[in-house]
Amino acid sequence: MKCENANHVCDKSQYKESSFLERVKLTIHLIYCSACRKYTARNKKLSNALKTSDLKTISKEDKNGLKERLHQEMTK
């Protein structure tokens, strides 16, 4: 497995979209590749940070509503 591919699998794993075989290959790759180990560690940290911060977003419809309201006021 090449590093590029390993990082891709690592990214996918953060969203639980990697296959079992891919994860096995990644684990093997990580044994001998310190650069990817570093990336994987960071990537996991980022995922954890995002999880604990429990961010929420406004839905697209509500955003459009806000935009419309703002637009109305601007063109008045």
Partner 1 sequence: MPKHQLYPETWVDKYSDYLFNFTISRVNNSEIAKDLISETFLAGLKSKDNFKGEASERTWLISILKRKIIDHYRKINSNKGKAEVRITYKDDESEGDWLEERVSDPFGKTAEDKIENEELGQAIFSCLDSLNEKQATIFKMKTIDGFDTEAICNEYNITASNLWVIIHRARKAMAECLEKNWL
The answer to whether residues 26 and 12 touch, using CB atoms and an 8 Å cutoff, is no
Q: Please report how close the Cβ of residue 52 comes to partner 1 at its closest, in angstroms.
A: 6
**Cβ of residue 32: shortest distance to partner 1, in angstroms?**
22
Cβ neighbors of 14 (< 8 A, separation 6 or more) are 43, 44, 46, 47
Interface with partner 1, residue 70, by CB under 8 A:
yes
d(C-alpha 36, C-alpha 2), whole Å: 10
Q: And the tokens for 42?
A: 């960071």
* Per-residue contact string for residues 38-67; x = within reach of partner 1 by CB under 8 A: -x--xx-xx--xx-xxxxxxx---xx--xx
Q: Which residues, 1 to 20, sit near partner 1 by CB under 8 A?
A: 7-8, 11-12, 14-15, 17
Using rule CB under 8 A, residue 74 touches partner 1: yes
